[in-house]
Amino acid sequence: MDLNQSNFDSTVLQSSTPVLIDFWAPWCGPCKVMSPIVEELATEMAGKFTVAKVNVDENGDLAQRFNILSIPTFVVFKSGQVVDQFSGSMSKEALAARLVKHV
Annotated active-site residue in 12, 31, 71, 75: 31
Catalytic residue (one of 3, 19, 28, 99): 28
Classify residue 14 as left (phi > 0), alpha (psi -120 to 50) or beta: alpha
Q: Is 28 marked active-site?
A: yes
Phi-psi region of 97 (alpha: psi -120 to 50; beta: other; left: phi over 0): alpha
Respond yes or no: is residue 3 known to be catalytic: no
User: Is 18 within 8 Å of 77 (Cβ atoms)?
Assistant: yes
- Enzyme catalytic residues: 28, 31
